[in-house]
């Protein structure tokens, strides 16, 4: 009824302001006010003959201080500590593939051979040439030891021999580069190349992918806005949906480089295997702690109500003259996480916050606990 009276008063006042005869409108409003006040009084006497107001049943609980943590949540992925894309060091046609997907390989193990027939033929020619110049050099050296011939002839033959030896060494290295070997111990996860296909270091796909999951890690790209809040050593919670498990670790690496393309930086967290079978690119939800208050009041966010004129408030239960009364407590809030909001001002430990039935309360209403 009070709300009805309030709205009728506002409406009449607006009409009065638009009328040229404001005094007449004022007198009319006073008469209507008296009439409505009498109606309200009669209804209250009829509804509450003893003068008591309605009592609303509520639930309440005492507040206490607790540790409140805020986490930044990003979606990351699982990766091996060593996840290597292997490409040939020199281009060539694939002649042999010596492993298959799933094979465990050792560092330096031969994975594939590329065509190096031309280089091998050139090596044979150089080896023949080396045998000739070596023989000539030994002859010239024997003469020079006997002081026969000139020093220039001796040095010229020596240079020819060394030049061929250097060419052979370079050609052998070139032939070795036609062999693709594993740079780490690990498992062959992918073999995009095929026999007869041209392979090179500039190909869009690597020849092999070798992964070592002896040590796994969670990797995520975090937005630049959090660059000042995340550092190596920060506490982290990692939720693994595939195992429905959450583990606690610490940030092992927080990059100092901001990717100019997407304005993110890389964060890595080493995680123990605990006999789990991790796979590359498994989802990992990473929660990084960026704020902590060891002693504060935090309440469920849905308890907080707002008023345009009064601001944020909650209802608390008070004992007044032996009666339980609902009172508005105006509050200031901090950060919110996981449905809880930190209250920085307005509530104290021991206050009884109304947790159920608070939606229809007004300040000063009589209450009773459920």
β partners of residue 314? 329
Q: What is the CATH number of the domain that holds 272?
A: 2.40.30.170
Q: Which residues pair with 342 in a beta bridge?
A: 298
One domain, residues 183 and 248: no
C-alpha span between 252 and 233 (Å, rounded) = 6
Between 16 and 73, the higher pLDDT residue: 73
Question: Mean pLDDT for the chain?
Answer: 83
Question: 315 exposed, middle or buried (CB, 10 Å; 0-12, 13-18, 19+)?
Answer: buried
pTM equals 0.54
Distance of CA 188 to the CA centre of its chain: 28
Q: Mean per-residue pLDDT for 56-76? A: 90
Whether residues 159 and 20 share a domain: the answer is no
Check whether residue 180 and residue 223 sit in a common domain.
Answer: no
Query: Do 109 and 185 have their domain in common?
Result: yes
- The whole-angstrom distance between residue 353's C-alpha and the CA centroid of its chain comes to 35
Instruction: Give the residue among 78, 104, 37 at the shortest CA–CA distance from 269.
Output: 78
Grouping H, G, I as helix, E, B as strand and the rest as coil, residue 267 is: strand
User: Do 268 and 214 fall into the same domain?
Assistant: yes
- Give the C-alpha separation, 76 to 270, whole Å: 13
Same-domain check for residues 181 and 223: no
User: What's the number of domains the chain is made of?
Assistant: 3
Dump pLDDT digits (tens) for 246-282: 889 999 999 999 999 999 999 999 988 776 778 888 9
Query: Can you give the pLDDT at residue 300?
Result: 93
Q: Are 234 and 251 in contact (CB under 8 A)?
A: yes
Residue ranges making up the domain that contains 261: 73-81+210-293
Count other Cβ atoms within 10 Å, centred on residue 166: 10
Sole residue written with tokens 């304005």: 263
- pLDDT tens-digit series, residues 27-49: 788 778 777 867 766 665 565 55
- Give the residue with greater pLDDT, 307 vs 300: 300
What angle do the packed helices 2-17 and 22-47 form, to 10 degrees? Answer: 170
In a domain, 332, yes or no: no
- For residues 95 and 132, membership in a common domain is answered with yes
pLDDT in tens, 259-269: 999 999 999 99
328 assigned to some structural domain: no
- Mean pLDDT score, 323-348: 91
Flag whether pLDDT at 16 surpasses 60: no
């Amino acid at each position: 009824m009070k709300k009805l009276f309030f709205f009728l008063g506002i409406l009449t006042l607006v009409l009065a302001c638009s009328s040229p005869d404001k005094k007449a409108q004022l007198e009319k409003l006073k008469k209507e006010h008296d009439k409505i006040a009498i109606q309200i009084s009669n209804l209250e006497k009829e509804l509450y003959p003893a003068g008591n107001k309605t009592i609303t049943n509520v639930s309440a609980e005492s507040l206490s201080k607790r540790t409140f943590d805020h986490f930044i949540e990003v979606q990351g992925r699982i990766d091996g500590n060593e996840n290597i894309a292997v490409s040939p060091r020199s281009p060539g046609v694939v002649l042999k593939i010596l492993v298959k997907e799933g094979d465990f390989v050792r560092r330096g193990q031969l994975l594939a051979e590329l065509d190096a027939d031309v280089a091998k033929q050139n090596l044979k020619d150089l080896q023949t040439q080396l045998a000739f110049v070596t023989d000539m050099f030994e002859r010239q050296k024997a003469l020079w030891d006997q002081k026969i011939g000139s020093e220039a002839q001796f040095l010229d033959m020596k240079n020819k021999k060394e030049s061929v030896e250097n060419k052979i060494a370079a050609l052998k290295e070139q032939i070795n580069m036609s062999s693709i070997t594993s740079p780490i111990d690990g498992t062959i996860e992918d073999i995009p190349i095929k026999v007869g296909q041209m392979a090179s270091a500039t190909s869009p796909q690597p020849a092999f992918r070798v992964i070592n999951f002896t040590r796994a890690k969670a990797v995520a790209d975090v937005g630049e806005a959090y660059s000042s809040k995340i550092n190596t050593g920060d506490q982290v919670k990692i939720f693994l949906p595939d195992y429905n498990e959450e583990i606690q670790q610490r940030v092992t690496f927080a990059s100092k480089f901001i990717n100019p393309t997407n304005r993110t930086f890389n964060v890595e967290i080493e995680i123990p295997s605990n006999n789990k079978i991790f796979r590359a690119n498994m989802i990992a939800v990473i929660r990084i702690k960026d704020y902590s208050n060891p002693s504060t009041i935090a309440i469920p966010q849905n308890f907080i109500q707002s008023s345009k004129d009064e601001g944020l408030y909650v209802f608390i239960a008070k004992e007044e003259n032996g009666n339980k009364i609902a009172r508005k407590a105006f509050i200031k809030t901090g950060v919110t996480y996981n449905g809880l909001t930190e209250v920085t001002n307005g509530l104290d430990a021991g206050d009884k916050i109304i947790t159920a039935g608070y939606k229809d309360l007004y300040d000063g209403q009589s209450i009773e606990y459920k």
